[in-house]
């Protein structure tokens, strides 16, 4: 089990995107060479890197990259699903395919993954849990931080890790 400190990356923008409406965020955990990575096993580091990649794909609206990382039978619970279990990819693809408003200026977004914990449940299943802090600007230009709690499950099949389930909750 690895417990590593918070990680964040510099503000980013995606032209015409509204990161709150599209729930796209840039993220995440340590980059290779970061001292915190040395505190994890290679597999735990790989899971953190894959989590970074998936959140980066979401932030960039990169459906192809997201597709490469997730299983066809992905399941999730997330606020956008209003308490329903979502199965498959069409629900997620909808958010990637939303048009952007070219008249709206892009907002900077910084995402911090606070205290991620990786648990290897077996040789082929891993879990990562963390609090995601998303910083952006509201409509008046004031900084706002929105937290959410995330748990992601990864399954190794054919030598490759695929994201198979996540649960994202807004704090109560």
CATH classification of the domain holding 20: 3.10.450.50
Total of domains in the chain: 1
Residues 6+ apart with CB under 8 A from 159: none
The average pLDDT across 46-58 equals 88
Tokens of residue 88, six digits: 């498959």
160 in Cβ contact with 66 (< 8 Å) = no
Give the whole-angstrom CA distance, residue 15 versus residue 106: 5
Burial status of residue 135 (CB atoms within 10 A of its CB: 0-12, 13-18, 19 or more)? middle
Question: Are 55 and 26 a contacting pair, CB within 8 Å?
Answer: yes
Give the tens place of pLDDT for each residue, 58-73: 877 889 999 999 999 9
The structure tokens 């004031």 sit at 142
Asked if the model's pLDDT at residue 131 lies above 80, the reply is yes
Could you give the CA distance from residue 9 to residue 13 in angstroms, rounded to a whole number?
A: 12
Task: Report which of 57, 54, 59, 52 is spatially closest to residue 26, judged by C-alpha positions.
Answer: 59
At 141, list the tokens: 């230009």
What are the tens digits of pLDDT across the range 80-106? Answer: 989 899 999 998 989 888 887 777 667
Residue 77 clears pLDDT 60, i.e. is over it? yes
% of the chain beyond a pLDDT of 70: 76
Give the range of the structural domain holding residue 44, as residue numbers without chain letter.
2-169
> Residue 16's closest CA among 92, 125, 102, 98?
102
């Amino acid at each position: 089990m690895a417990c590593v400190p918070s990680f964040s990356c510099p503000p980013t923008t995606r032209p015409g995107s509204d990161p709150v409406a599209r729930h796209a965020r840039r993220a995440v955990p340590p980059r290779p060479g970061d001292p915190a990575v040395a505190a994890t096993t290679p597999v735990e580091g790989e899971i953190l890197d894959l989590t970074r990649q998936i959140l980066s794909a979401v932030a960039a609206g990169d459906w192809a990259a997201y597709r490469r990382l997730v299983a066809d039978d992905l399941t999730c619970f997330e606020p956008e699903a209003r308490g329903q279990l979502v199965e498959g990819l069409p629900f997620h693809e909808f958010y990637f395919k939303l048009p952007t408003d070219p008249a709206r200026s892009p907002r900077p977004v910084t995402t911090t993954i606070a205290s991620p914990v990786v648990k290897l449940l077996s040789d082929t299943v891993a879990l990562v849990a963390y609090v995601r802090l998303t910083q952006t600007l509201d409509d008046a230009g004031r900084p706002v931080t929105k937290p959410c709690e995330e748990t992601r499950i990864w399954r190794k099949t054919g030598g490759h890790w695929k994201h198979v389930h996540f649960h994202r909750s807004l704090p109560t």
